Structure 1
Amino acid sequence: MKSALLPPTGYPEFLQELKTRIRGAQVRAALAVNRELILLYWSIGRDILLRQGMEGWGTRVIDRLAHDLQNEFPGVEGFGARSLKYMRALAEAWPEEAIVQQLIAQLPWGHNLRVLDRIKDRRTREWYLRAAFEHGWSQNVLVHMISSRLHEREGKALTNFEQTLPPPDSDMAEQILRDPYNFDFLTLADDFKERELERGLLIHLRDLLLELGRGFAFVGSQVPLPVGDQTFYLDLLFYHVRLHCYFVIELKTGEFKPEYAGKLNFYLSAVDGIMKSDRDDPTIGLLLCESHNEAIVELSFKNFQKPIGVSTYTVTREMPKALEQEVPSIEDLKGIVEKLRTELAAARKADQAEPEEGT
């Protein structure tokens, strides 16, 4: 029992070194709070790993270390056992100090924890951290993007950008588009119409802009395009502030059809002729369909001169009518709960009224 109470070899010196390091970091933190703290946490985690590896310290030493540090710095949060384990996990995930300096320490501690918790492989972790830094994502937005598996969807749309846009713009435009787009904030029936989809996206415009990604500015819906003696209407019109161009989005239910690409190509020509200024780059079009055949899509806009992309989208489906009849409604559930409460109250009353044995 006595040996269990004694600190392991080198522990007192290590504890004293940490106390000095923490005090020094607290002074510097006034100038660069987040960066200093992340670097401090990483260095503590790295040294815990080294000590455990070289001197055979067990996992229980973290609990002891947390207790001693909290005694030394009362009221200072961030040095509990759970936090120390996260520091060790951070150092294990990012052993190179260079990437910690360049990326990890540029983001808040909470962002790093969410990535450590939700993603296991290094390459994907780095992808989301770089995206969060570049786009200024909040912690909630970062979690949402991870949940929607954005890294698997970005840059996956079918496009002709390589043939219709100059190299720098084509690469950026390619990465901006996704496939599929996740409109899980919408709930639509199986046989929804295109106008219902459009109305739903406009009602949830903030969610739509988040899903489209950074740089999209909403211009309007059903935007009129007068051509000759006719007027055509664009489903959704955006302006992309990084690409410096108009962005036409056409919504379609069902599978992609070749004629959709021809109509969108016409719309892009009209926008370039009517709305585009000399300072704007060529207008880009995006067709959003429920499904598509890759070979048909590629042949459909093979010889077009206008930049067009085709992606799919997903929405939350309403419960089928046949299934609705099998599932209890809210009112039914309330009735069941009230019935159970009444029966439970009656049972308790009966138990209280029953005379005790021997009376």
Structure 2
Amino acid sequence: MLINQSFISEIKAIIASSKDKAIRAVDNQRTLMYWQIGKRIFEEEQNGKDRADYGKYLTEYISKELEPQFGSGFSKRQIELFRQFYRMFPIANALHSQLSWTQYKFLLRVENQEQREFYIAETVKNNWSSRQLERQVYSNLYERLLVSNNKEDVLAVARNEKQPSDAKEIIKDPMYLEFLGLKREASYYEKDLEQAIITHLQEFLLELGNGFSFVARQKRIHIDGDEFFVDLVFYNRLLQCFVVIEIKTDKMTHQDIGQLQMYVNYYDRIEKTPAENPTIGILLCADKNDTVVKFTLPENQKQIIASKYELYLPTEQQLLDEVSKELGNFEDNEEEK
């Protein structure tokens, strides 16, 4: 007797889905348990607030009582995390079931509330894994988006309160491509970088931003008998437009911008439908001169973006410098009001 294999595949899918839901349910209960423990610790601390060392004594005592029976998950350090968890997220109904305890534990390191809200919204919206969330925080995603946007727009897009109307609201500069495994000091051709991106396409889509899907590589276009090849073509469902990317492994020139502009014009006039928005062009380069970009393109144009790529995640000092720069920009803007 022959049985359709799709029947077995459906059963396997049911099993996999049920297992995933069970794991999520267990982790959600664990997160709520830690929150409740943190709440009780905080309440007990308040009762003994006349004793300056009561908090330290309390966490040590709880750990001494629980760790022998329940294991290292109730060490003094973990107990302190439970207390911090409650104090940072004091409303139980505001906790997200989509976030795991591992993700919440990592978010405790993000002290700025607006940053924390941004990463929570992005994690929920994009179903990020713990590793993806961690990478986005370490790659300074929030600060990179603030370079060309204000805080309100960045948070609104993350929370789905508004759709991005400008490519700069979701495209980052610089882009961090450490997942490609290329050495900064090594020499390589543009085709090598392109191949590495294709090999790590899932990670590259995550770095590109929300709503991107892959369309083609080395897309051949014919213009009056001449052939040209576009390095990478994507489509963004949020912006509802094609996104063409040209790769340059050295410093960009005004000729590079002109070539990309030609590809953007081609897609606008030949490929896009009347219902779609104008094509976006990204010049992904090892180095760039913003002034050259400014004077090569018309004022207030929004279709061409030059983005520098980095092969390593920023260091802690680079992150601190970026945060200081953004705080300085914010203070300047406040003084101008």
Deviation at 1:236, TM superposition (A): 0.5
> After superposition, what is the alpha-carbon deviation per residue over 1:318-341, rounded to whole angstroms, capped at 9, x for unaligned?
xxxxxxxxxxxxxxxxxxxxxxxx
C-alpha change, 1:101 and 1:296, in structure 2 (3 Å) is: farther
> After superposition, what is the alpha-carbon deviation per residue over 1:198-247, rounded to whole angstroms, capped at 9, x for unaligned?
22222222322222133211111110111221121101001112222111
Structure 2 equivalent of residue 327 of structure 1: none
Please tell me whether the aligned partners of residues 35 and 105 of structure 1 are also in contact (alpha carbons under 8 angstroms). yes
Asked whether 1:83 is paired with 2:87, we answer no
Structure 1 equivalent of residue 241 of structure 2: 245
Find the residue that maps to 2:177 and give its secondary structure: strand
RMSD over aligned Cα atoms: 3.2
C-alpha change, 1:37 and 1:52, in structure 2 (3 Å) is: same
Please tell me whether the aligned partners of residues 166 and 302 of structure 2 are also in contact (alpha carbons under 8 angstroms). no
Amino acid at match of 2:101: W
C-alpha change, 1:303 and 1:226, in structure 2 (3 Å) is: farther
93, 98, 111: which is aligned to 2:103? Answer: 111
Question: Which ranges of structure 2 fall in alignment gaps of 5 or more residues?
Answer: 1-21, 150-161, 313-337
Between the aligned partners of 1:260 and 1:169, the Cα distance in structure 2 is: 30
Structure 2 equivalent of residue 65 of structure 1: 62
Deviation at 1:174, TM superposition (A): 1.9
Find the residue that maps to 1:254 and give its secondary structure: strand
C-alpha change, 1:197 and 1:261, in structure 2 (3 Å) is: same
Structure 1 equivalent of residue 232 of structure 2: 236
Structure 1 segment 1-359 matched on structure 2, within 5 A: 37-55=30-48, 56=51, 57-66=54-63, 81-95=76-90, 97=91, 100-104=92-96, 106-116=98-108, 118-154=109-145, 156=147, 171=165, 173-184=167-178, 185-188=180-183, 189-303=185-299, 307-315=303-311
Deviation at 1:178, TM superposition (A): 0.5
C-alpha change, 1:259 and 1:110, in structure 2 (3 Å) is: same
Please tell me whether the aligned partners of residues 144 and 173 of structure 2 are also in contact (alpha carbons under 8 angstroms). yes
Between the aligned partners of 2:171 and 2:291, the Cα distance in structure 1 is: 19
Deviation at 1:147, TM superposition (A): 2.1
Find the residue that maps to 2:182 and give its secondary structure: strand
Deviation at 1:141, TM superposition (A): 0.9
Percentage identity across aligned positions? Answer: 30
Please tell me whether the aligned partners of residues 180 and 313 of structure 1 are also in contact (alpha carbons under 8 angstroms). yes
Between the aligned partners of 2:177 and 2:67, the Cα distance in structure 1 is: 46
Between the aligned partners of 1:104 and 1:216, the Cα distance in structure 2 is: 25
> After superposition, what is the alpha-carbon deviation per residue over 1:20-43, rounded to whole angstroms, capped at 9, x for unaligned?
xxxxxxxxx999655555444334
Deviation at 1:114, TM superposition (A): 1.5
- Of residues 183-192 and 262-271 in structure 1, the stretch that sits farther from structure 2 once superposed is 183-192
Please tell me whether the aligned partners of residues 256 and 297 of structure 1 are also in contact (alpha carbons under 8 angstroms). no
Between the aligned partners of 1:309 and 1:157, the Cα distance in structure 2 is: 11
Find the residue that maps to 2:238 and give its secondary structure: coil
C-alpha change, 1:169 and 1:43, in structure 2 (3 Å) is: closer
Deviation at 1:112, TM superposition (A): 0.5
Structure 2 equivalent of residue 17 of structure 1: none
C-alpha change, 1:258 and 1:225, in structure 2 (3 Å) is: same
Between the aligned partners of 2:290 and 2:84, the Cα distance in structure 1 is: 42
Deviation at 1:272, TM superposition (A): 2.0
Deviation at 1:252, TM superposition (A): 1.3
Q: How many residues get paired? A: 273
Find the residue that maps to 1:142 and give its secondary structure: helix
Amino acid at match of 1:110: T
Between the aligned partners of 1:144 and 1:75, the Cα distance in structure 2 is: 31
Normalised to the residue count of structure 1, the TM-score between the two structures is 0.66
